[in-house]
Amino acid sequence: MKRIPDEACASICGLFCGACPSFPEECHGCFSDLVREGCRGCADHGFLDCAASHHITRCYECEEFPCVKLREFSTKPVINGICNHANVIPDSLRMKEIGVAQWICEKIAEHKCPKCGRLRNWFEMGTHSCD
């Protein structure tokens, strides 16, 4: 299998794709050619095109950050009471502050189960059980 660059799991909009149930089996992130259906072309949000037109890589680099589009994105969808987009703005700010590579390390630490070491996805953070 082709190696996925580490930075692939830091999305344009500020999501940690390492916590996505589709990553890396069905999706290699929004910079790759293998993108899960819901994120293809960033769906109706179009962050990929938007970032290109602003000559930036990720939203936090943009002078319009946090724009209306990103703010709306951070409120939906809500699945089983969890909006996995909820932290894209603070997470983007953190990326800007400490750099993408360090941010990924932080996110891995946050999502790693202290017991089994597995990376918990967004929707199982509160419910994951190793048994």
For Zn ion, the binding residues (CB under 5 A) are 113, 115-116, 130
Nearer to Zn ion, 93 or 113 (CB): 113
Nearer to Zn ion, 109 or 130 (CB): 130
CB of 67 to Zn ion, least distance (A): 37
The pair of structure tokens assigned to 80 is 């089983």
Cα distances (Å, whole numbers) of residue 113 to 2, 36, 121, 124: 26, 25, 10, 11
CB of 124 to Zn ion, least distance (A): 9
Nearer to Zn ion, 80 or 129 (CB): 129
The 10 Å CB-count burial string (b at 16+, else e) for 39-50 is beebeebebbeb
